Amino acid sequence: MASFVEAMREGYSRDTLRPETPDTIAGVAADPAWFLNQIVNPPTTVVLPDGTLGERVPETLLWYVEGDEFLGSIAVRHWLNPVLEQWGGHIGYAVRPSARGKGYATAMLAGMLDHVRANLPLTRVTLTAVQENHASNRVIRKNGGVLEKAIPHPWHEGAIGNRYWIEL
Ligand SMILES: CC(C)(COP(=O)(O)OP(=O)(O)OC[C@H]1O[C@@H](n2cnc3c(N)ncnc32)[C@H](O)[C@@H]1OP(=O)(O)O)[C@@H](O)C(=O)NCCC(=O)NCCS
């Protein structure tokens, strides 16, 4: 947990659409048991980037670690709702800033695709990435991502995203 909090202080964020704040970091640092409990027993709703409440779909969250060091996280949603169909897709991931550029995200996504093949009834997954996020687009392409189309980002005015599919 200490390494996870350190990663948040460094710039790792649990939600790629929203950076952590001093308050969210302090909340996790002050009560790790509460933090872990709300991962295992998540609420049924999620606060969307525009502040409204949306439906939370079940997801599997995996941490990428080396010994006691937290390096990054990746999550797969078990199915999509209309919000996730529009943006977000099945899989999202992040690597802590000090661990970037070492191939970890590429390895995390490859590992997650194996996990999905073995554990979920999905035959293909969709992922989205803003076009300026060159590293993420590369991670997806290196894992077999096929571009379906460019789409306007629903939460970031003027930003364009790419929607990919990976056949499992
Ligand atoms: C996107 C992110 C997960 C990439 O993690 P990473 O561990 O650094 O990625 P990798 O080391 O596996 O690199 C993947 C590829 O991107 C390339 N890359 C990295 N940074 C790049 C950049 N700024 N411009 C172009 N390519 C870049 C790497 O060279 C590598 O390609 P290569 O193997 O052909 O050389 C990381 O930057 C991150 O956590 N960003 C914030 C959260 C986020 O954007 N998540 C994804 C949302 S869609």
pLDDT along the chain (168 residues), means of 10: 96 92 96 94 89 93 97 97 93 98 98 98 97 97 98 91 97
The answer to whether the CB of 133 is under 6 A from ligand 1 is yes
What confidence score (pLDDT) does residue 18 get? Answer: 87
pLDDT of the residue at 68? 96
The reported pLDDT for the residue numbered 16 is 86
Domains of the chain: 2-167 (3.40.630.30)
Strand order, beta sheet including 124-130:
124-130, 160-167, 146-152
Q: What is the pLDDT of residue 53?
A: 92
Pocket of ligand 1, candidates 139, 153, 163: which has the most ligand atoms within 8 Å of its Cβ, to mutate? 139
How far is 154 from 111, CA to CA, in rounded Å?
Answer: 29
Distance 32 CA to ligand 1 centre (A): 29
Distance 94 CA to ligand 1 centre (A): 9
pTM reported for the whole predicted model? 0.95
